[in-house]
Amino acid sequence: MKARVHVTLKNGVLDPQGKAIGHSLNRLGFPEVGDVRQGKFIELELAETDKAKAKARLDEMCRKLLANTVIENYSIELVG
Amino acid sequence: MKAAVLVFPGSNREGDVAQAIELVTGRKPQMVWHCDGDFEKTDLIVVPGGFSYGDYLRCGAMAAQSPVMAEVKKRAAQGVPVLAICNGFQIVTEAGLLPGTLMRNAHLKFVCSDVHLKVETSQSLFTNRYQAGQVIRVPVAHAEGNYFADETTLKRLEDRGQIAFRYCAPDGTVDGTGNPNGSIQNIAGVFNETKTVMGLMPHPENAVEPMFGGSDGKALFEGLVEALT
């Protein structure tokens, strides 16, 4: 089974990288771009067939290592 | 005072801090490799600066899960003092030994310069040789030193006197001008609740000899020797 984890900054946490990306896009001729928030995308191969079990394990992985819950949120998506 | 300095793949200030410790204690600290979960008992553990594990995932995130850090967490819980500098500060926050986290500098640039710090308290193992309110000058060198904690945590830190150092202007004014990285409330260093763990972004170990631009950091190590010998 494949899993996709998205890690994003929590609301209210300043994202200077997102801001810089937004400014660059505006400068490159994309004035329609407003607020930009950037994050991480992590794809994992899992040796697990039970979706509920996989999700619980992924949740643990996110809390232990993949995300820093002081400033980041995470979401988990199971594929196939 | 017997000290241990941790070494991770990508550490680069372990030699500097070892030299600062040797300067004040006359003895070389034990260097402990990140895989070594069972090292000799010491009076102090130092987590040095650098780019452990290439800063992969988040600064300090991988190092925080290493065998040596599992042991450091155990010893810190027993009261063994831990001094965590720069990347070390990032590692111990990731390991949960100190509250908050270090984010990308607000201006997105690597900052390498001398900064002024206001000593918030002299009531700790680490700051007993300073006066509360004293201004010292030490270097910083980092891209992720922007301290952040949520409001509840900040209030708790303030109420319990857990803020060790704040960035300030040369005259001690704590405002935006002396803040090199956007840290919330100018926080440069914090203690845990028992004040046995201290983390800070600046490098006191690089300000121990006048010949190299200043010696304001030396008192931190002298204070530790006094408290732990």
Mean pLDDT by 10 residues, chain B (229 residues): 97 98 97 95 98 96 97 98 98 98 95 98 98 98 97 97 98 96 97 98 97 94 96
Q: Residue ranges of the domains in chain A? A: 2-79
Q: Which pLDDT score, from 0 to 100, does residue B36 have? A: 93
Q: Which pLDDT score, from 0 to 100, does residue B173 have? A: 97
Which two three-digit tokens encode residue B175?
Answer: 């405002």
Q: Residue ranges of the domains in chain B? A: 3-228
- Enumerate the residues of chain B whose CB falls inside 8 A of the CB of residue A17: 104, 108
Mean local confidence (pLDDT), A41-58: 97
Q: Which pLDDT score, from 0 to 100, does residue B131 have? A: 98
- Indicate whether A80 pLDDT > 80: no
| B116 in catalytic set | no
Find out whether A48 and A1 touch, Cβ atoms under 8 Å. yes
Nearest to B89 by CA among B57, B68, B59: B59
- Enumerate the residues of chain B whose CB falls inside 8 A of the CB of residue A70: 93, 100-101, 148-150
Fold of the A2-79 domain:
Mth169; Chain: A , (3.30.1280)
Burial (CB count within 10 angstroms: exposed 0-12, middle 13-18, buried 19+), residue B97 = buried
Strands B163-168 and B146-148: unpaired
ipTM computed for the complex: 0.86
- Indicate whether A12 pLDDT > 90: no
Cα torsion at B135, B140, B144, B145 (round to 10°)? -10
Among B94, B120, B144, B205, which one carries the catalytic annotation?
B205
CA gap B142, B120 in Å, rounded: 22
Find out whether A74 and A31 touch, Cβ atoms under 8 Å. no
Among partner residues B65, B104, B148, which is closest to A17 by beta-carbon distance?
B104
Q: Which pLDDT score, from 0 to 100, does residue B213 have? A: 85
Q: Which pLDDT score, from 0 to 100, does residue B124 have? A: 98
CATH superfamily ID and name for B3-228: Class I glutamine amidotransferase (GATase) domain (3.40.50.880)
β-bridge mates for residue B117, sequence order: B136, B167
Q: Which pLDDT score, from 0 to 100, does residue B212 have? A: 86
| B168 in catalytic set | no
**Could you tell me if A64 lies within 8 Å of chain B, comparing CB atoms?**
yes
